[in-house]
Amino acid sequence: MKLPKRYDPKTAEPKWQQFWEEKGLFHFDRVPDRPIYSIDTPPPTVSGRIHIGHVFSYVQTEVIARFWRMMGFNVYYPFGYDDNGLPSERLVEKEKGVKASDVGREKFVQMCLELTKEYEKEFSTFWKSVGLSVDWSQDYSTIDPRSQRISQRSFIDLYRKGRAYTREAPTLWCPECHTAIAQADIEDAERDTVFYDVAFKLGDRDLVVSTTRPELLPACVAMFAHPDDERYAELIGKKATVPIFGHDVPILADEKADPEKGTGLVMCCTFGDTTDITWWQEHGLETRIALDDNGHMNELATGYEGLYIKKARKRIVEDLEEAGLVRNERSISHAVNTHERCGTEIEFAVAHQWFIRVLDIKDEIIAAGAKVAWYPDYMEVRFRNWVENLKWDWCISRQRYYGVPFPVWTCSSCSEVILADESQLPVDPTVTAPPVDVCPKCGGSEFEPEHDIMDTWMTSSCTPFLNIRWGEEDSRLERFLKSDNGTEYLMDMRPQAHDIIRTWAFYTVVKSVLNEEKIPWRTAMISGHVLHPDRAKISKSKNAGSHSPTAIIEERSADATRYWACSSRLGTDTVFSYDLFDAGKRFVVKLWNASKFAIMRLEDFDADAPRELGAPDRWLLARFAVTVDRATRSFEVGDYNGALDAVERFFWHDLCDNFIEIAKKRLYGDEGYDDAARRGAQYALYQTLLGVLKMVAPVMPHITEEIYSLFFAEREGVESIHIAAWPEPPQEWHDKAALESGELGLAVIEGMRKIKSTNKVSVATPVGVLRIAASQELWEKIKQLTGELRDVSNAEAVEHVLWNGDTESPPGDGFVGTDEAGIMVSAELKEVQS
RNA sequence: GGGCGAAUAGCUCAGCUGGUUAGAGCACCUGCCUUACACGCAGGGGGUCACAGGUUCGAGUCCUGUUUCGCCCA
């Protein structure tokens, strides 16, 4: 059989993707009797464009799925879409040019559903073109009824366990999105602003405070100085008058007031920052709210009502200046907290919100995180640091529309919380009546449905539950649950990028610990980011559009792209460059060409006929055995890069450049070799090429499948390389002596090649006598290779010159050294061309 | 200010538990159309492994400090 001259990924890749899908090769339970390996795939938010960073991350983890499948596992690798929540809402508002509040809840939710469905189709098509070995029949979306049901079930369980609570409290608030948010939704941003020194009055005395938020003057409830600050010691306990607004506020002492900052005197407003909240709580201060939910001044800010924050600030500063109360102003750049979804500076609002109590169990969460094997391991530290630094319970209510509703009603007379019945789930309390007619506590019959929806992370933190169908009739908990040293875990692996350790990883651990008292996964594979050449992170919100992944896959092929993704170490960021795509492409071509040659020479290979393994064959098999060991150990701990490196080196260097060159004449069936010797070479070639294809298959699934299907599939009796068994070299291939003599032989070849290269002649140039100077001991190891050394050198004869290294060079002319100590080589070139 | 990571050839990256002369690809130089591959092959040049100390028989690898960059958090 003759393979076509060239391999064309443009036609081959879609062909194989279709083949895999039609054959259902990646279906969970295709081999139900095998042990399960389950993967908690990240459901991407459909609100963002797919960028090359996604491809980087997904490929790095998907190759591991392919590896375990070949290792004989029943791999569960689903796909999901995170389509509920604020990100999707913002997408719809942007694309359709509407505001949720104008359209109405029902209509808006409908628009969200429609648009996200469209995007999901696009996403699936794209991910198939990358060659992900996903079982598409297992896909889910975080807004689908089952996800909503599981999410609500999880909430009800947390409520019953006393973990979910509601209360009226100052909460992080986004005035743009008009909703409460959680600590994890905050992003720091460097912003330019102005520091104003504003004079308060105490009698005739000026008390100057520095502030960047003069618009919060109407919300000022106190002034603070450090207790040791002598400048203000006598003022503590007195009252100062707030400029413009004229109300009096107490002057108090607290250690959190920094004497070094500004004048050392600071105003406390309800609420400017978290310190204000602490002071407000600890000192029992009054509450003066001057901002409404949309970031406009309210009636408390007399004269400025209805103005948006920035505008109010400008006007108040003007009025202060006019009154001569601004003593100084200077421009500064400082870090502010913004909402990561929209970039708006966050405010604080006092409102009724739902929370998950986590601050009291930080240690438990940290301990659970420590039981997960993080790859790379330092990612666990990031998880721990985040949990240690938590300041808020997890705020899970959002004053939005598109998301999972709280399965909750409240008694209108006594505020008793009424939970939905399991049979009602999923439930929208605004359209469904509560499961009771009268309040079990007070007998009241009026109920108020909860209008808020849950934080989108409340559902995405359930992904292990969605995968195991937690609490559902078709629950897989029993099947998926495994334990390791007494630690029970729900799934085998969580793949994700490091930027969402604080959200997705953290919340998932919280849920698994609280709902199930288990850790969510045995391992977590944390991948890095792709950076622009100017080192900025490529992400969905920034720099989208450049390096379109669709274009890259089309131009460079999925295999080359996957090779690129596997060329940097797990967890580390990489600067985008086409260099490694090109390396991947060359690897594909080389695999094709080498296979073309091999298959031509293997066509008549009869594995059952007697064969004799020559020294080069034993050397190759020994090198192969070492390579399989390393590749397997690497893949087992998620080190795709180490595995690929080992296999590529073996293939290119050992198999192609050396073995094939050395064994060529034997493979051609040239004179001087009998059939058994030829079959020895064929055997080594067959085994190692097949093994290489298998080990490369996780990274480059298309080219390997193409080659495998053209020759190996029929002989091996397995229709696809991706469900073939991972190579397992027999013990006898681990042959130390063969390795040693092989290396010596290569040293001879290197010397011979150097002679030809120095003389600027072709490597095919005939040689008279090839002389090998070596000790008797070394020669014993080399001499079994004389036939092949003669072939590869195109020499008439090979002679041994006894030389123990006791003289500078052996007797005779033209000897060159080699990398192998103790061997020198000379060769008489027959047709020296000038 | 705290935490984590990175710093290796002109560029993009490897380098596993410390062990001869630090690797790959691109780029560069010299050759070679060799019955798989010129998208190739052979040979070569190029690195004081950020800097300064330390541990060790031995350090790119471990420890301490410094500098620069990135990420996360205050």
pLDDT tens string A495-507: 998 888 988 999 9
Provide the pLDDT for residue A67.
96
Task: Tell me: pLDDT of A542 over 50.
Answer: no
- The residue-averaged pLDDT of A772-776 equals 90
Tell me the per-residue pLDDT of A90-117, one tens digit each, with 9 for 90 and over: 888 888 888 888 888 888 889 988 988 8
**Span CA (A573) to C1' (B50), Å:** 19
Checking each nucleotide's C1' against the CA of A502, the nearest proves to be B72
Helix axes A736-758, A615-636, angle to 10 degrees: 110
**Span CA (A348) to C1' (B3), Å:** 27
**Span CA (A769) to C1' (B21), Å:** 30
As a whole number of angstroms, the distance between CA A31 and CA A643 comes to 26
Residues 720-779 of chain A with CB under 7 A from strand B are 750, 753-754, 756-758, 760-764
Task: Tell me: pLDDT of A155 over 90.
Answer: yes
Structural contact between residues A303 and A311, judged by C-beta atoms closer than 8 angstroms? no
Task: Tell me: pLDDT of A547 over 70.
Answer: no
As a whole number of angstroms, the distance between CA A262 and CA A271 comes to 20
- The residue-averaged pLDDT of A370-398 equals 89
Structural contact between residues A403 and A177, judged by C-beta atoms closer than 8 angstroms? no
As a whole number of angstroms, the distance between CA A501 and CA A510 comes to 12
Checking each nucleotide's C1' against the CA of A578, the nearest proves to be B12
- Pairing relationship of beta strands A530-531 and A574-575 according to DSSP bridges: parallel
**Span CA (A640) to C1' (B7), Å:** 23
**C-beta pairs of A750-755 under 8 Å, 24+ apart in sequence:** A750/A818, A750/A819, A751/A816, A751/A817, A751/A818, A751/A823, A751/A824, A751/A825, A752/A789, A752/A792, A752/A793, A752/A825, A752/A827, A754/A816, A754/A818, A755/A814, A755/A816, A755/A825, A755/A826, A755/A827, A755/A829
**What is the sign of the dihedral through the CA atoms of A693, A694, A697 and A702?**
positive
Checking each nucleotide's C1' against the CA of A670, the nearest proves to be B35
Specify the range with the lowest mean pLDDT, choosing from A331-345, A501-515, A592-606, A719-733: A331-345
- Is A535 near strand B, with its CB below 7 A from some atom of it? yes
When pLDDT is cut at 50, 70 and 90, the band that residue A543 belongs to is very low
As a whole number of angstroms, the distance between CA A162 and CA A360 comes to 12
Q: Which of A55-59, A187-191, A285-289, A510-514: highest mean pLDDT?
A: A510-514
Tell me the per-residue pLDDT of A706-717, one tens digit each, with 9 for 90 and over: 999 999 999 999
Provide the pLDDT for residue A832.
45
- Please list, in sequence order, all residues whose beta carbon lies within 8 angstroms of the beta carbon of residue A381, skipping any fewer than 6 positions away: none
Task: Tell me: pLDDT of A2 over 80.
Answer: no
Which of chain B's bases lie under 7 Å from a protein CB? 2-6, 11-16, 21, 24-26, 30-37, 39-44, 69-74
- Is A656 near strand B, with its CB below 7 A from some atom of it? yes
Q: Is the ipTM of this complex over 0.90?
A: yes
Task: Tell me: pLDDT of A525 over 60.
Answer: yes
When pLDDT is cut at 50, 70 and 90, the band that residue A483 belongs to is very high
Q: Please name which of A595, A600, A555 lies closest in space to residue A578, comparing C-alpha atoms.
A: A555
Task: Tell me: pLDDT of A389 over 80.
Answer: yes
- Is A657 near strand B, with its CB below 7 A from some atom of it? yes
- Please list, in sequence order, all residues whose beta carbon lies within 8 angstroms of the beta carbon of residue A368, skipping any fewer than 6 positions away: A509, A512, A513, A519
Q: Please name which of A601, A711, A586, A702 lies closest in space to residue A659, comparing C-alpha atoms.
A: A601
DSSP-based three-state secondary structure for A537: strand
When pLDDT is cut at 50, 70 and 90, the band that residue A541 belongs to is very low
Task: Tell me: pLDDT of A538 over 80.
Answer: no
Q: Is the pTM of this model over 0.95?
A: no
Provide the pLDDT for residue A834.
36
Give me the percent of chain A exceeding a pLDDT of 90: 50
- The residue-averaged pLDDT of A157-161 equals 97
Distances, alpha carbon A799 to alpha carbons A327, A770, A792, A829, in Å: 98, 6, 15, 15
More confident residue, A471 or A824: A471
**What is the four-CA torsion angle of A20, A21, A26, A29, rounded to 10 degrees?**
-130
**Span CA (A505) to C1' (B18), Å:** 35
| Omega before A56 within 30 of 0, i.e. cis | no
| The residue to which tokens 């020198």 are assigned | A824
Task: Tell me: pLDDT of A819 over 70.
Answer: no
Task: Tell me: pLDDT of A526 over 60.
Answer: yes
- The residue-averaged pLDDT of A283-299 equals 88
Task: Tell me: pLDDT of A271 over 70.
Answer: yes
Q: What is the DSSP string of A212-262?
A: S-GGGGGGEEEEEE-TT-TTTGGGTT-EEE-TTT--EEEEEE-TTS-TTST
Compute how many other C-beta atoms are within 10 angstroms of the C-beta atom of residue A528: 21
- Is A210 near strand B, with its CB below 7 A from some atom of it? no
As a whole number of angstroms, the distance between CA A444 and CA A438 comes to 5
Q: What is the mean pLDDT of chain A?
A: 89
Provide the pLDDT for residue A660.
93
Task: Tell me: pLDDT of A544 over 60.
Answer: no
Q: Which of A115-124, A206-215, A664-673, A721-730: highest mean pLDDT?
A: A721-730
**Span CA (A382) to C1' (B53), Å:** 30
Start-to-end C-alpha separation, chain A: 41
More confident residue, A543 or A826: A826
Q: Which phi and psi (to 5°) does residue A397 adopt?
A: -95, 140
Q: Please name which of A828, A805, A669, A661 lies closest in space to residue A746, comparing C-alpha atoms.
A: A661
When pLDDT is cut at 50, 70 and 90, the band that residue A537 belongs to is low
Q: What is the DSSP string of A153-205?
A: HHHHHHHHTT-EEEEEEEEEEETTTTEE--GGGEEEEEEEEEEEEEEEEETTE
Reading phi first (left if > 0) and then psi (alpha if -120 to 50, else beta), residue A547 is in left
Provide the pLDDT for residue A189.
79
- Please list, in sequence order, all residues whose beta carbon lies within 8 angstroms of the beta carbon of residue A688, skipping any fewer than 6 positions away: A620, A621, A624, A650, A655, A659
Distances, alpha carbon A182 to alpha carbons A175, A397, A736, A756, in Å: 14, 9, 60, 71
- Please list, in sequence order, all residues whose beta carbon lies within 8 angstroms of the beta carbon of residue A485, skipping any fewer than 6 positions away: none
Provide the pLDDT for residue A132.
95
When pLDDT is cut at 50, 70 and 90, the band that residue A292 belongs to is confident
> Do you know the residue count of chain A?
834
As a whole number of angstroms, the distance between CA A337 and CA A345 comes to 6
As a whole number of angstroms, the distance between CA A788 and CA A313 comes to 87
Specify the range with the lowest mean pLDDT, choosing from A43-57, A208-222, A620-634: A43-57
When pLDDT is cut at 50, 70 and 90, the band that residue A400 belongs to is confident
When pLDDT is cut at 50, 70 and 90, the band that residue A821 belongs to is low
- Is A580 near strand B, with its CB below 7 A from some atom of it? yes
Q: Listing from the earlier edge strand, what are the strands of the sheet with A824-829?
A: A795-802, A767-774, A824-829, A816-817
More confident residue, A654 or A335: A654
